[in-house]
Amino acid sequence: MTGTAIRVLLVDDHAVMRAGFRMILEAADDVVVIGEAANGSDAVAAASDLRPDVICMDVQMPIMDGLEATRRIVADPATDAAVVIVTTFDRDDYLFDALSAGATGFLLKNAGPEELLNAVRVAAAGDALLSPEVTKRVIARFAAAEGAGSDSAPGTGASSPRILGAEPITSSGPERDTGLVRAAAPELTDREHDVLRLVAQALSNAEIAERLFIGEATVKTHVSNVLQKLGARDRVALVVYAHRHALV
């Protein structure tokens, strides 16, 4: 994150929706909206030019949808923004394709102002916005894919150069790299196992720190070590790994 305020880019094809989000976010002392875009193509350009910390991304937009824009933004090594999908539609294909594209969170537009603000803060802190309900859907769909004998969970759309998520689940379209850990785990320390189990319960770094009576910076170090040892690409992959190996 740059400076003391979280720098946010708003992407939505409805100006009224962008204005509402801006009003909510800028009422907080720790958030500043640095730009807006009305379609995915403009969002990709704005992300490159403005370098936001967090992008609130709609899905259905003209010219380029939010899922493709997310893939391109995440694939750009010069852009380090966390993408939170904010959509009207509570659809599993949007949820899992968004995570597969590299989004760190998924929020419905009927969420309250505090939920939107919390989503931005969580994403800026480097945590995945995965509620227990979303986690259950991730695990259930991944388990169904494995039960069907798939080597990797099936998804839709083209392969992404840098996919952080793990759960494209619709049956049509080519298979896609999921970032899931398949090999046997290297040796994890007892503390790393503790952290992995709590990550799998969709706890944030702050919540894990409170639960284990350690500092949040220490939690981040443990999470980074676990990601590296398991070869996982993000916290979503850790959630799936922990459930596949009955760690929770």
**Which range, of 95-99, 155-159, 244-248, averages the lowest pLDDT?**
155-159
Helix (H) or strand (E) holding 42: helix 40-50
Looking at domain 133-244, which of 3.40.190.10, 3.40.1180.10, 1.10.10.10, 1.10.3720.10 is its CATH number?
A: 1.10.10.10
- CATH 1.10.10.10 in the chain is located at 133-244
Please name the residues in contact with 227: beta carbons below 8 A apart, sequence gap of 6 or more.
Answer: 233, 234, 238
CA 70/CA 64 separation, integer angstroms: 10
Strand partners, 154: 175
- The pTM score is 0.68
Helix or strand or coil: residue 185? coil
pLDDT in tens, 134-170: 666 666 666 566 555 544 433 333 322 222 233 322 2
Q: Which CATH superfamily is domain 6-129 in?
A: Response regulator (3.40.50.2300)
Contact 155, 170 (CB under 8 A): yes
pLDDT in tens, 185-218: 568 899 999 999 888 887 878 889 999 999 999 9
CA 132/CA 11 separation, integer angstroms: 26
- CATH 3.40.50.2300 in the chain is located at 6-129
| β-pair type (105-108, 6-11) | unpaired
**Which range, of 20-34, 51-65, 224-238, averages the lowest pLDDT?**
224-238
